Amino acid sequence: MRGVHLDPHRPGRHPGRERVLGTLLPRARHPVLCSLQPDGQMPGDKTAGHHDDAFSTFFSQTGGGKHSPRAIFLDLEPTVIDEIRTGHYRQLFHPEQLISGKEDAANNFARGHYTVGKEIVDLCLDRIRKLADNCCGLQGFLVFNAVGGGTGSGLGSLLLERLSVDYVCLSTHALLEHTDVSILLDNEAIYDICRRSLDIERPTYTNLNRLVSQVISSLTSSLRFDGALNVDVTEFQTNLVPYPRIHFMLSSYAPVISAAKAFHEQLSVPEITNSAFEPASMMAKCDPRHGKYMACCLMYRGDVVPKDVNAAVATIKTKRTIQFVDWCPTGFKCGINYQAPTVVPGGDLAKVQRAVSMISNSTSVVEVFSRIDHKFDLMYAKRAFVHWYVGEGMEEGEFSEAREDLAALEKDYEEVGAEGGDDEGDEDEDY
Q: Give the catalytic positions in this structure.
A: 235
3-state secondary structure of 332: strand
Phi, then psi, of 363 in degrees rounded to 5? -70, -15
DSSP for 224-292, please give it.
HS--TB---HHHHHHHH-SSTT--EEEEEEE----HHHHTT----HHHHHHHHTSGGGBSSS--GGGS-
How many residues belong to the chain?
431
- Residues with Cβ within 8 Å of 206's Cβ and at least 6 positions away in sequence, in order, are 28
How many CA atoms lie less than 13 Å away from 267 in the CB half-sphere?
24
Cα distance between residue 332 and residue 427, in whole Å: 9
Q: How many Cα atoms sit within 13 Å of 3 on the Cβ side?
A: 25
Handedness of CA 162, 164, 169, 170 (dihedral sign): positive
Q: CB atoms < 10 A from the CB of 135, how many?
A: 18
**Angstrom distance (rounded) from CA 205 to CA 218:** 20
State the pairing for strand pair 428-430/331-337.
Answer: parallel
Q: What phi and psi, each to the nearest 5 degrees, are found at residue 203?
A: -60, 140
Strands 293-302 and 181-185, bridge-based pairing? unpaired
Spatial separation of the C-alpha atoms in residues 352 and 140, rounded to whole Å? 30
The residues with which 254 forms a beta bridge, in sequence order, are 356
Spatial CB neighbours of 126, under 8 Å, sequence gap ≥ 6: none
User: 355: part of which helix (H) or strand (E)?
Assistant: strand 354-362
Through-space distance between the first and last CA atoms of the chain, rounded to whole angstroms: 32
